[in-house]
Structure 1
Amino acid sequence: MLEIVRILMDYEKDPAGVEEMPQFNWELKSDKRGVVQTAYQLQIAENSDFDTPVYDSGVTESRESAHIRPPHVELKSAVKYGVRVRVWAGAGDVLPAALAECEESAWCEGSFVTALLSSGEWKAPFVSAESVPACREESKGTLVRGSFSVGSGLKEAYAFTTALGLYHFYLNGEKVGEDEMTPGWTSYRRHLLYQTYDVTRCLREGVNTAGAMVGAGWYKGVMGLTKSRNNYGDQTAFAMQLVLRYEDGREETVCTGDSWEGADAPVVFSEIYHGETYDASLELPGWCGADRTAADHTSGGWHAVETVPFDTSVLHAQGGARVRVIDRIPAKEVFVTPKGETVIDFGQNMAGRIRVTASGKKGDVIELRCFEILDTEGNVYLDNLRKARTTMKYIFGRDGEITYHPHFTYMGFRYALVVSYPGTPEAKAFTAETLHSEMEPAGEITCSNPLLNQLHHNYLWGLKGNFLDVPTDCPQRDERLGWTGDAQIFCRTACYLMNTYTFYKKWLWDLKADQTPEGGVPHVVPNIEEEHAEGNWLLKQGPHSASAWADAAVIVPWTMYLMYGDTAILERQYDSMRKWIEFMREHSEDYIWNYKLQLGDWVALDAEEGSFFGATPTDLTSTAYFAYSTGLFARIAGILKKDEAAEYEELYGHIVKKFQDTFFDGNGSLKAQTQTAHIVALYFGLVPEGRTEQTVNGLKRLLDKEDGHLVTGFIGTPYFCHALSRNGCLKEAYDLLLKEDYPSWLYQVKMGATTIWEHWDGIKPDGTMWSPGMNSFNHYAYGAIGEWMYRVMAGIETDEAAFTGAGFKHAVIWPRMGGGLSYTDARHETIYGTIRVRWEMEGNRISLLADIPANTGAAIRLDRAQRVVEDDGLCFRPGDGFMEAEAGSGTYRIVFEI
């Protein structure tokens, strides 16, 4: 049976906040093998009235089921469009010659809601309950509200809301939507998001009240390495534009304005780093209810709002990946430390907040301080938080039971210190709520080694702890910045784990917006340090454009293309990528690139004592990345059929030759005898012709010198296993992955880690800590090993060279068995459906199961196969170290001997 499992628009299900005609893709499912779509029909209609669609593709003969963007359709603002698609497909080695002979699916339906589609449509001013200059040193919450009337016969209503700061939006006393930390963190002056809500069911005929509670957030709270305040502005504000549409065709617009009023909120303090204090005695019951007359008689403090000027041309709609509560984790236990401190343990390091239920008297206080780790004696360890207070505090406003969680902050924690609590705290009173951008899970690996299973868990939770609207480095201390290096290092792994397309697309917009006029790329995006770099010991050496970090401008879009097969992200970021390549070209000297501050192989273990900079020379690592990014950009220009593709291919050739002439000696050996130097030369394809084996042997010698351990940092670590397995050293790659003593990935696992650490020895073998000045226990960068586990251990890989393009339209299923594993079972949800690979080894016999989604194909490679025992109808032919067969969609079970 042929069916369409789901239809996605811009990689999201039923998005609200679409600014242009979205791309459509649909996932097919069939019980047959070799299923190929032969035609589709896509319809788009206002309000799901498909009798008069605004677009009808008709029966379109095409094998494409992704990246479909209907042409020449003029969308209207603030409209919910219904979408439906059906397909025809054939199956088998010989596809039907005529459409009538194909199987037809039923319709699959979805919808999307458009945003405000022209720049001049936003009319709502930003209104604030704060007054300048009084608010400049404050981080309190405020309330704003306004009333409006709704006539009879309301058909639909859509709200467009945003803030300078963070906000919760209410209609008639009820919070609208499930979003948290809105409107997120962007480079406010250049890019600010607004959210779109269908609020038809929230309104009633007659008087209605809209309101918002607003907090400081990233906008004006203390943030960044320099701990600066008011980085984007000093006055929080809220803006709402509400479109009301009636059955008789009338349309009304309601906006924030001078008639609104403001007051202080019960949130008396709230900041990202320091937590929140909530005084329930300041609550204003019914403050934004539909009928607030009674409430106003008993609550004062309301005053006129101020209008805050803002350039609304930088406003854009957010279509997906909004921050929400994703997991709810009950407390595991409450215990008392040797020092007598009461501590709550949730059993998992995470980012989010704590929901607490308690009974108390007016004036009682609940105060919890969140933290990550216990010290060697089992006591509370706060030093690695640096100046972050990470405290949530609730003051009872009445006698009785309450339930509370913070509103405008989040913490990185596994534990919470109970500073104050009415009565005896019990585990059942506390629930941790994780906060991160909503992204559909896309990958899973289990295998016969439980330590590797825990490692997968740890880098997944590293993602969950740091993908909170921007890809941060850590969620606990007074930093939490969008470091570009961490983001690009982990990008491929992240795409295997979650559907990150919308998340990265949003972040890349800010990267582009924050580039310097000549093309330099900031170390952190959003670039909150832009005006304060001189206040930090590191940034003042060079405020932007460190290799591997700035190269996120090219590597992240390229990775998105590989994983989703979508050229739109390449088109969108093309100018940004080119500006970065030209910046490097302009500031290189005879193709050697080493501009100002270069972070190099950051926190590598071969660094000098007391230094963060690894032993590999930065002119080598920087020039290697100059070559790598330029080579990728030349390929991108070719894919997009740009005239300058040949120019950049020539530039790439010059850089490679210079790298080889400069960093290899006359005997063909690398002058820099470090692991990382060899890794980047091998992985980036920079080794002189005929010297690969020599370079591989050099890397093996350096590995043996460390008794099989890595001493690499941010640049070398992500590619180490790839550099080995690509060059005939699969055993060494597995041996490296499976090391259990320090330094290794599994050392952290055996030390009880539930996320990835910033340092290989965050906790040393003797239980002592690395320097508290920079010792995060939730720092996902080294979790980049995940892509090797998916691509090599599990063997799920997109075919970069396929005529059909990337994005798993044609996959390469090529698991490399090893490491003493008896089985590996993995899946990855591509835009076409789920690829699953399971291999089991018994002696020299391998059983392989492969699931290939409908409307795709794959090359199945049997690594080191000597004989195929069961081919399941496939025709295997000898390859280079493997046997290979082409397979259409379906499930295959193959047995072979090695």
Structure 2
Amino acid sequence: MVAAIEIAALRTEGIHCPLGLDVDRPRLSWSFGRPGDRGGRQSAYRIAVATSEERLKTGMPDAWDSGIVSTGAHTSIAYEGASLLPRQRYYWRVTVWDEQGQSSTGAAAWWETGMLSGDRWTGRWIGASAGAGGERRLVQLRRSFDVKGPVARARAYISGLGHYEMRLNGAKVGRRELEPGWTDYDKTVLYSIHDLTSRVRQGENAVGVLLGNGFYRVAGGRYAKFKDSYGEPACLAELVIDYDDGTTEKIVTDRTWSASESPLTFSCIYGGEDYDAGLEQEGWDEPGFAENDSWSRACELPPPRGKLLAQSSPPLAVMKRFPASVVSEPRQGVYVYDLGQNISGWPSIRITGPQGARVKLKPAELLTDEGLANQKYSGSPYELNYALKGGSIEEWRPRFSYYGFRYVQVEGAVPCGKESGGKAGLPVLHGLEGEMIYPDTPACGGFRCSDPLLNRIHENINWAILGNMKSIFTDCPHREKLGWLEQLHLMGPSVMFNYDIEALLDKIMRDMADAQLPSGMVPTTAPEYVVFKEPWHIFRDAAAWGGSYILAAWEMLQRYGSTGPLERHYDGMRRYLDYLTGTADGFILRAGLGDWYDIGPKGPGFAQNTPVELAETAVYFGLARAMRQIAIVLGKEEDAAAYASLAESIKQAFNEAFYDSSSGQYAEGSDAAMAMPLAIGLAPEERRGALLSRLVRHISERGWMTNAGDVGHRYVLLALARGGRSDVVYRMTRSTDTPGYGYQIAHGATTLTEAWDGPTVGKSQNHFMLGHLEEWLYGGLAGLDYRYQPGTGRFIVKVKPAVVGDVAWAEAWQELRPGKASVRWELGPGRTIAIKAEIPANSEGRIYIPAAQDAEVRKSGPEADYLGREDGYAVYRTGPGCYFFKYKNL
């Protein structure tokens, strides 16, 4: 008999088989395959964890046996077994039972612990020789070691600050870039674990480490958003070799390592990188290398203050490559390459030429009127300089600095094929491509529809998301590279529809905790590399930014069923809400950034249309309401009651302060002022219809253009969609002659820009802060949305399409924690509409059919319960399975 439910994938702390976790009680989750004909709901589970795969296979789990637990929960199950050991691999699997009592056991997965504690490290932080200083070249480190017998397992535990590249026996180890992830190094320092088992060999081996400054040391020298340093670049590493005979050997960083200046003559996360290939020492990272006088003993350096923690979020890697498609020569001897796409990363070149010849690369998002690289809005000067070693074709790209760009201006070299027209003796550039870096995390969703413009907007938003997804979510990949926090909750759902970011968000939650002040305030950026002081303190303290500490954790619960962040950060979230309450004036927040970057007569920047107090207090209310829900989930009933009372007090004060009964609107009636009370729940029920009508009228009077900004825009879309006015969202979105998405594309944007009219007004050409439409494309137009239900441990998948405008069909799919959900709807002849909806196992569906009262609805698939009509939709409750609906509006 075939089981009605099957296990498909296992995750530990949101990751498939993580190599290195410093978590005492990791959270375990599993998803399911496609449900069978009888559906598939979990009624119970049993988790087995063992220290060897053989023990697991033979039914002797020596770490933990949960026993049979009767529940439908399958996410964020805390490990409750024996104390975890460092550097130990744990194998686990789960057996589930369906509602008919049939069991199914999935394949085994594993996780491996890291050091688990900072006092287990025996290596020392090392770097350049004592007394070296100033703007010297960056350091490289090396150590030879012997492998004395057959190896069972070899690992490298390593952190290099600000960034490092590890090499073994002449080749780079792995694909990771810009390691480790950015943190407040006074609070947290991340290290990585590399599996070297297949890389080490019998006899002599050699390990090499190149160091870069990163955010650990921003010394300036060219463009820099700020200048600061936590210390000198340094490395801590332990290579641990477990032999087949049961013995273990460690090679750790100490004064037995050697140090030398590397060919990196300049490296700045903001200003670029210079590399002199003539300074390379061939074989420096290989066995048998003879060190010359440039090498000396490594120097022990003071360790950073931060706690060492294994990096569990997805590593950055080169994920896409873009060959240059166009070459122009706007000025004699100056060539400009066009990638055709705005990306974040670096250019990579293939070049030949005489030794010592130098080529300069200047990346940019825009071009000047003359056709040269324009860095006016992205941080200038940023440049990359490469000095050739001479000989055969040389390949180079920077290691520790990246930028946002589409164009690359080349000076000092001639493109291949144009040698005859160039200056004699110049190097020849045989190829240039852009390498885009972002976390190595799979796409978990997709959207398409019949409208090419909407598809292009979807693509541009995704390019902007990927362009700013690093070890934090940056505001832009060039000028600032800072983790402005409002994006986490305002754009969180849009990102989660497309990418699995549970582990990355967990890391960013720690960043926010590290940034929190003793007063409870969470600053607007985390890590807080720049502290905005008076008179610019307004840029440091804003509820829509710091509030991500609460709202991001709440979103993680709703999207991933992840309770770990709520438990780990509850005290910090509580202290932040207490801070806001302590600074409020009669439950009104008087300061902050408000609806940043809205559309007004003064150009983009400070809020112009909506009182800052209104926007900040509306978010404050949302935070109190979210904390009430979080307290309920965690069983803190007294706290929940207190937060409910706080929310009611804020609501009353808000309406007294901002609602004008004579005009029937909030404040001056901006889009954000009308939409935020509707979307967040501040507007009383009796006002909602009139407020929505007024919002629609204002938008239509502007030619279907909103005047909302960074904060207000998401709430405008939510208010319209929830109010049944997706037709207005559609008309706003397709407009190409007013500032907005269509306008950006009509004027050549290939990513989402910072300002609504970004391609013509300038500013950054790669921001994702206004990409809130993505949430509507999935949850509104295609009609696919979902929420975790803490009481049941299951997900409710909602399918509610919006049939609008000239859209003939739309579809979306999503890999949820329980499994794959999808929807496709299309219009047919004779006013017929067909909907196909896929509800994953162990989930419940709510399918809304946009049918008229007298429409004939035909259904096929598993059993579905008709619940009646709601706002023009016929509503069905379903279990797991694939459902088909076809109807004709008479």
Task: Give the alignment's TM-score, normalised by structure 1.
Answer: 0.92
1:816 aligned residue: 802
Partner of 1:783: 771
Name 1:883's counterpart in structure 2.
Answer: 874
With 577-586 and 61-70 compared, the bigger mean Cα shift is at 61-70
Q: Write out aligned runs for 1:593-604 (5 A).
A: 593-595=589-591, 598-604=592-598
Residues 145-160 of structure 1 aligned to structure 2 (within 5 Å): 145-160=142-157
**Structure 2 counterpart of 1:529:** 530
Give the match's secondary structure for 2:620: helix
Q: What residue is the counterpart of 2:423 in the other structure? A: none
Matched, 1:348 2:341: yes
2:668 corresponds to 1:672: yes
Write out per-residue CA displacement over residues 153-207 of structure 1, whole angstroms, 9 at most, x where no aligned residue. Answer: 4321221100221101122333222111001210001011100112222223444
Partner of 1:857: 844
What does the per-residue CA deviation read over 1:213-232, in whole Å, with 9 as the maximum and x for residues that have no partner?
00111110247999476624
Contact 2:823/2:835 (CA < 8 Å) preserved in 1?
yes
**In 2, Cα distance between the equivalents of 1:438 and 1:551?**
28
Deviation string 1:406-465 (CA, Å, 9 cap, x unpaired) is 111111111111112255379971222111122221111110110110111111111110
- SS of residue matched to 2:882: strand
Q: CA deviation at 1:350?
A: 0.7
Aligned-residue offset at 1:62: 4.3
Say whether 1:832 aligns with 2:818. Answer: yes
* 1:307 matched to 2:300: yes
Total equivalences in the alignment: 863
Match status 1:845 vs 2:845: no
Q: CA deviation at 1:607?
A: 5.1
What CA deviation, in whole Å up to 9, does each residue of 1:743-780 have, x standing for no partner? 1211112222111000111233xxxx44xxxx000000
Q: In the TM superposition, what is the alpha-carbon distance from 1:47 to its structure 2 partner?
A: 4.1
Give the whole-Å Cα distance in 2 for the aligned partners of 1:250 and 1:337: 65
CA contact (8 A) 1:368 1:420 kept: no
Are the aligned partners of 1:366 and 1:421 in contact in 2 as well (CA < 8 Å)? yes
Comparing 6-15 with 459-468, which one deviates more in the overlay?
6-15
Correspondence for 2:466: 464
User: In 2, distance between residues paired with 1:834 and 1:865?
Assistant: 30
Could you give the per-residue CA deviations for residues 572-631 of structure 1, whole angstroms, max 9, x where no partner exists?
221221111111111111111123xx2221121125458633221111111111111111
Question: What are the within-5 Å matches in structure 2 for residues 472-483 of structure 1?
Answer: 472-477=474-479, 479-483=480-484
Instruction: Confirm or deny: 8 A CA contact 1:270 1:276 kept in the other structure.
Output: yes
Q: Report the equivalent of 1:42.
A: 47
Give the match's secondary structure for 1:737. helix
Match of 2:409 in 1: 417
Residue 122 of structure 2 aligns with an amino acid whose one-letter code is: K
Deviations 1:811-844 (A, max 9, x none): 1111121132000011111112221110102353
1:234 is matched with: 231
Mapped to 2, the partners of 1:715 and 1:484 lie a distance apart of 11
Give how far 1:284 is off: 1.1
C-alpha change, 1:60 and 1:659, in structure 2 (3 Å) is closer
Match of 2:387 in 1: 395
Mapped partners of 2:713, 2:442: distance in 1 = 27
Question: Which residue of the partner structure matches residue 92 of structure 1?
Answer: none
Q: Name the CA distance, whole Å, in 2 between partners of 1:230 and 1:379.
A: 28
Asked if 1 retains the 8 angstrom alpha-carbon contact of 2:163 and 2:214, the reply is: yes
**Which range moved further: 683-692 or 466-475?**
683-692
One of 54, 58, 73 as aligned partner of 1:64: 73
State the identity as a percent: 29
Residues 1:577 and 2:573 are matched in the alignment = yes
Within the candidate set 704, 707, 725, 2:703 is matched to: 707
Q: Distance in 1 between matches of 2:652 and 2:391?
A: 76
Structure 1 pair 759/313, CA: closer, same or farther in 2 (3 Å)?
A: closer
Distance 1:649 1:869, change over 3 A: closer
**Aligned in 2, Cα 1:126/1:494: closer, same or farther, shift over 3 Å?**
same
Alignment-mate amino acid for residue 178 of structure 2: M
Question: Does residue 73 of the first structure (1) align with residue 77 of the second (2)?
Answer: no
Instruction: Give the counterpart of 1:29 among 7, 19, 33.
Output: 33
Q: Secondary structure at the match of 1:24?
A: strand
Stretch deviating more after TM superposition (371-380 or 214-223)? 371-380
The answer as to whether partners of 1:130 and 1:235 remain within 8 angstroms in 2 is no
For 1:858 and 1:871, the matched residues in 2 are separated by 14
Task: Write the distance in 1 (CA, Å) between the matches of 2:221 and 2:865.
Answer: 58
1:14 aligned partner: 17
Are 1:541 and 2:532 counterparts?
A: no
1:248–1:380 Cα change, 3 Å: closer
The letter for the 2-side match of 1:616 is: T
Query: What's the offset of the Cα at 1:311?
Result: 4.9
- Once the two structures are superposed, what CA deviation does each residue of 1:322-357 show, in whole Å capped at 9, x if it has no partner? 111111222223233488842111111111112211
Letter in 1 for 2:660: D
Q: How far apart are the structure 2 equivalents of 1:304 and 1:156?
A: 29
Partner residue in 2 for 1:164: 161
SS of equivalent to 2:536:
helix
Instruction: Report SS of the residue matched to 1:854.
Output: coil
Deviation at residue 151 of structure 1 after TM alignment? 3.0
What is the Cα deviation at residue 672 of structure 1?
2.3
Cα distance in 1 between the residues matched to 2:639 and 2:737: 50
Answering whether residue 314 of structure 2 is matched by residue 321 of structure 1, we say: yes
Counterpart residue number, 2:421: none
Compute the displacement of 1:467 (Å). Answer: 0.7
Q: Given the alignment of the two structures, is residue 644 of structure 1 paired with residue 639 of structure 2, yes or no?
A: yes
Moved more, 214-223 or 511-520: 214-223
* Cα distance in structure 1, aligned partners of 2:734 and 2:812: 18
Counterparts of 1:271 and 1:31, CA distance in 2 = 52
Deviation at 1:847, TM superposition (A): 0.4
CA distance in 1, matches of 2:220, 2:795: 43
Matches of 2:373 and 2:210, distance apart in 1: 34
Give the superposition deviation at 1:860.
Answer: 1.0
Match of 1:692 in 2: 688
Q: Which SS does the other structure have where 2:646 is aligned?
A: helix
Q: Does 1:613 align with 2:613?
A: no
Q: Indicate the SS of the match to 1:288.
A: coil
Q: Residues of 2 paired with 1:180 and 1:367: CA distance?
A: 22
Match of 1:200, SS state, is coil
Conservation of the 8 A alpha-carbon contact between 1:136 and 1:234: no
Q: How far apart are 1:40 and its partner, in Å?
A: 4.1
One-letter amino acid matched to 2:811: D
CA gap of 1:258–1:855, structure 2 versus 1, over 3 A, is same
Structure 1 match to 2:119:
120
Cα distance in 1 for residues equivalent to 2:299 and 2:501:
38
Residue 516 of structure 1 aligns to which amino acid in structure 2? Answer: L
Q: Distance in 1 between matches of 2:271 and 2:117?
A: 39
Distance (whole Å) between structure 2 residues aligned to residue 746 and residue 722 of structure 1: 19
**Structure 1 residues 130 and 502: alpha-carbon distance in aligned structure 2, compared to 1, 3 A threshold:** farther
Please identify, of 339-348 and 842-851, the stretch whose mean Cα deviation from structure 2 is larger: 339-348
Shift of 1:509: 0.4
Tell me, yes or no, if the aligned pair for 2:225 and 2:270 is still in contact at 8 Å: no
User: Which shifted more, 465-474 or 242-251?
Assistant: 242-251
Other-structure match for 1:872: 860
Q: Letter of the aligned partner of 1:463 in structure 2?
A: I
Q: Partner residue of 1:760?
A: 756
Could you report, residue by residue, the CA deviation over 1:674-728 in whole angstroms, capped at 9, with x for unpaired residues?
1111111111111134111222222123223312211111121112121112123
Instruction: Extract unaligned runs of 5+ from structure 2.
Output: 419-428
Q: Give the equivalent residue in structure 2 for 1:370.
A: 363
Give RMSD over aligned pairs: 2.5
Aligned to 1:408: 400
Preserved CA contact (<8 Å) 1:225 1:529: no
Determine the structure 1 residue equivalent to 2:92: 83
Aligned-partner SS, 2:652:
helix
